[in-house]
Chains A and B, each alone.
Chain A
Amino acid sequence: MRFLDLLRLIFGNLSRRKARVALTAIGVVIGTAAVVILVSLAIGLQRNANEQLYGIGDLTQIQVMPSFGEGPVMVGPGGGGDGGGGGSSQTRLLTNQALEELRAIPGVEWVSPREFLMAGGMVRYRKLEGWVTIIGVDVKDLASLGMEAAQGDTALGRSIIVIGPMVANNFYDPRLRPGQEPPPPPDLYDQQIQFIVSKWDAQGNETRKNLSLRVTGVLKETRSESDWTIYMPLEQVKALNEWAQNRRINYNKEGYSQVIVKVRDVNQVLDIADQITEMGFQAYTPQSFVQGINNFYIILQVIFGGVGAIALLVAAIGIANTMAMSILERTREIGLMKAVGATNRNVLAIFLGEASGIGFLGGLGGVLIGWLAGQVINVMAVVYLSNQAGQQGGIPPSVAVYTPVWLPVFALIFSTLVGMFSGLYPALRAATMIPVMALKYE
């Protein structure tokens, strides 16, 4: 029997019993719609959470820090990585050689060392003062580290700095009297700020160094370390550290305090972080946290999908009942089919096809209704959540219910399979009927 003839026969038979097919399919419509809406909701929640988490930092970056064995390491002047209390065999420092090893890991896009200012540093703008974190980075433009500017640009130069959006909040008026209103955070963009670095000798005498820095860019808020940081060229921070420590620092021996490893594919981040840990360094990535969150949402999707599947199970019983009734009513027709040469397989295919057809039609309706309902919920929920975010602060969600392309396709295939399995027993009964008994059935 030709496949097209089989399809035509199946849909012809279904259209003969429109009302019954429609009533049976309604169960499948409800079940499929429930699966689509609930799983879309779980996926929407996951995307929302990921959007918020992606704000924490670039998930393709791994922070790598040196490992000092089991105890803390004190690196003295001229000392190497093997100094201090850590077990020398487990100490790995971020030397230039180590950086090359990190660059050689497949999937790594770039490796960039960072250095913190290891001295007391205070910033001053007009009559305001503040304490800040200063990080030196080995790039000419922060854009190459994935950072974006909210004001100005991200290019760095000698005494040309880019600051995080929250840096201005660290400024205070030292002459402020109790009860006085604190001044609002200053707008530091395109301003000159004074940076005072201090060091103390063995007798406790302070030596200060004044630098005048130009703020040429303010970064976009990411709710991460960069919000509170002043970025300077690496060489300038190195020079300040050497000035503060009164010695020349050999980075080939002592290594950098931190290195950022950028990974090409977000899916490789955890593998590469593991490799870095195996190499003896400390690796931190927010990806492991995100993965934990994602695992939770996958479980949520399965639970939500399961709730919808229960509705589909009820619908499956309806299909089985409809098919059993249909086969009883059409017993003589089955006998005739066999008399004119239909094989058991032909009969099985026809009745399985009809059951699958009910599942398919119900699934189609369910997918359509589920998708439409998802869109309506989405519009309403996004408006509501945006208002909430506006009132309480935070990032407004871009989506509440998200239906990926695979979900309707999966739901349609699943509902068709549910139909097919529901029709299996009645169809087998039809296929194995003795022709003469079927023809004589009253």
Chain B
Amino acid sequence: MNQPFIRVSGLKKYYQMGGTTVRALDGVDLEIEPHSFTVVMGPSGSGKSTLLYLLGGLDRPTAGEIWVDGQSLNDVDENSLALFRRRTIGFVFQSFNLIPSMTARENVAFPMQFAGANPRKRDEQADFLLKQVGLGDRASHRPTELSGGQQQRVAIARALVNDPKLILADEPTGNLDTASGAAIMQLLSDLHRSGRTVLVVTHDARMTRFATRQIYLLDGRVVSEAEYQSAVLEVASPA
């Protein structure tokens, strides 16, 4: 059996909000295989985005342990976490987070600046990835000149630019129309097929078509599909 690529044990994340403690994650244990396509499903407030940010080293847990690619994220300093994000993770966000003043090429190449890559190599890599996501002819366009779907494809190209092993996508289709969303799903599926580990947080049930594994979160806990479905049905028909 493969060593898990991600291992999470007793993961908790509590926030203080207006004097009350919000238990965003309340004891999550899970293992994710390498080269898998995992979809984390859950309603709003279930803790799925919190899980994604913790796995990506963008936040620190209240309790519990996280290993990604054999590296513990618990006892590392900020600098090491930044290097971990640079080398291991590619993020895709719901709101794209592209820098408006930069062209598509510059946005894609942006993370490589922090890795110290030379400008020629950066541009070559950005152009290559933009072609891969079908935007070879849009390299010199700024985000405002691109549609939502195109912007998300630029963001995916940016996530790939440092050749990460893990792609973490937070509601990647959340701001897109149906057709654009489907295209993004297909793109993420292609990344999985090319050998990367992909973890997508979504409440878009269509994404499960591409998934090799589904994880359901409710109130900060991992639940079975049956529990999740019954909870969702309960919400849909409260009477």
Chain A interface (Cβ < 8 Å from any Cβ of B): 1-2, 5, 9, 12-13, 16, 332-333, 335-346, 434-436, 439
Q: How many of B's residues come within 8 Å of A, CB to CB?
A: 26
Once bound together, how far apart are the Cα atoms of A2 and B53, in whole Å?
28
B residues 120-140 near A (Cβ < 8 Å) are none
Residue of B nearest to A9 (CB): B113
Residue of A nearest to B86 (CB): A341
Once bound together, how far apart are the Cα atoms of A336 and B102, in whole Å?
14
Contact B114 A435 (CB under 8 A): no
Contact B58 A435 (CB under 8 A): yes
B residues 172-188 near A (Cβ < 8 Å) are none
Interface string of B5-48 (1 = CB under 8 A from A): 00000000000000000000000000000000000000000000
Q: Which of B58, B111, B116: most chain A CB closer than 10 A?
A: B58
Once bound together, how far apart are the Cα atoms of A378 and B83, in whole Å?
57
Contact B114 A340 (CB under 8 A): yes
B residues 58-81 near A (Cβ < 8 Å) are 58-59, 78-79
Contacts of A340 in B (CB 8 A): 85-86, 91, 110-111, 114, 158, 162
Can you give 30 contacting A-B residue pairs, CB < 8 Å?
A2-B113, A5-B119, A9-B113, A12-B101, A332-B97, A335-B58, A335-B97, A336-B97, A336-B99, A338-B58, A338-B85, A339-B91, A340-B91, A340-B110, A340-B162, A341-B82, A341-B115, A341-B162, A342-B114, A343-B82, A343-B114, A344-B78, A344-B79, A344-B82, A435-B53, A435-B59, A436-B58, A436-B59, A439-B58, A439-B97
Q: Does B87 contact A (CB under 8 A)?
A: yes
Once bound together, how far apart are the Cα atoms of A90 and B105, in whole Å?
88
B98: min CB distance to chain A, Å:
8
Once bound together, how far apart are the Cα atoms of A435 and B114, in whole Å?
16
Once bound together, how far apart are the Cα atoms of A1 and B93, in whole Å?
24
B108: min CB distance to chain A, Å:
10
Contact A339 B58 (CB under 8 A): yes
Once bound together, how far apart are the Cα atoms of A434 and B78, in whole Å?
10
Contact B85 A436 (CB under 8 A): no
Q: Does B56 contact A (CB under 8 A)?
A: yes
Contacts of A339 in B (CB 8 A): 56, 58, 85, 91, 97
Contacts of A5 in B (CB 8 A): 113, 119
Partner of A341, one of B93, B97, B101, B114: B114
Report the 4 A-B pairs with minimum CB-CB distance, sorted nearest first.
A341-B86, A340-B111, A436-B59, A435-B58
Once bound together, how far apart are the Cα atoms of A335 and B114, in whole Å?
14
Q: Which of A12, A332, A340, A439: most chain B CB closer than 10 A?
A: A340
Q: Which of B82, B93, B97, B101: most chain A CB closer than 10 A?
A: B82
B120: min CB distance to chain A, Å:
12
Contact A16 B101, CB 8 Å, known A1-B116, A342-B82, A435-B59: yes
Contacts of A341 in B (CB 8 A): 82-83, 85-87, 111, 114-115, 162
Once bound together, how far apart are the Cα atoms of A46 and B56, in whole Å?
65
Residue of B nearest to A332 (CB): B97
Beyond A341-B86, A344-B79, 19 additional pairs, beta carbon < 8 A: A1-B114, A1-B116, A16-B101, A332-B97, A333-B99, A335-B97, A336-B97, A338-B58, A339-B58, A339-B97, A340-B85, A340-B110, A340-B162, A341-B87, A342-B82, A343-B82, A343-B83, A343-B114, A439-B97
Contacts of A2 in B (CB 8 A): 113, 116, 118
Residue of A nearest to B84 (CB): A341
Contacts of B85 in A (CB 8 A): 338-341
Once bound together, how far apart are the Cα atoms of A13 and B110, in whole Å?
13
Once bound together, how far apart are the Cα atoms of A343 and B162, in whole Å?
15
Once bound together, how far apart are the Cα atoms of A436 and B97, in whole Å?
13
Residue of A nearest to B122 (CB): A5
A48: min CB distance to chain B, Å:
52
Contact A1 B82, CB 8 Å, known A436-B53, A436-B58: no
Once bound together, how far apart are the Cα atoms of A436 and B99, in whole Å?
17
B116: min CB distance to chain A, Å:
6
Contacts of B93 in A (CB 8 A): 439
Once bound together, how far apart are the Cα atoms of A330 and B23, in whole Å?
29
Residue of A nearest to B106 (CB): A12
Contacts of A344 in B (CB 8 A): 78-79, 82
Contacts of B115 in A (CB 8 A): 341
Contact B82 A338 (CB under 8 A): yes
Once bound together, how far apart are the Cα atoms of A340 and B85, in whole Å?
6
Residue of B nearest to A437 (CB): B59
Once bound together, how far apart are the Cα atoms of A12 and B142, in whole Å?
14
Interface string of B144-166 (1 = CB under 8 A from A): 00000000000000100010000
Contacts of B118 in A (CB 8 A): 2
A332: min CB distance to chain B, Å:
6
Once bound together, how far apart are the Cα atoms of A382 and B144, in whole Å?
58
Partner of B79, one of A16, A335, A345: A345
Residue of B nearest to A2 (CB): B116
Once bound together, how far apart are the Cα atoms of A340 and B99, in whole Å?
13
Residue of B nearest to A342 (CB): B114
A317: min CB distance to chain B, Å:
27
B115: min CB distance to chain A, Å:
7
Once bound together, how far apart are the Cα atoms of A336 and B95, in whole Å?
11
Contacts of B78 in A (CB 8 A): 343-344
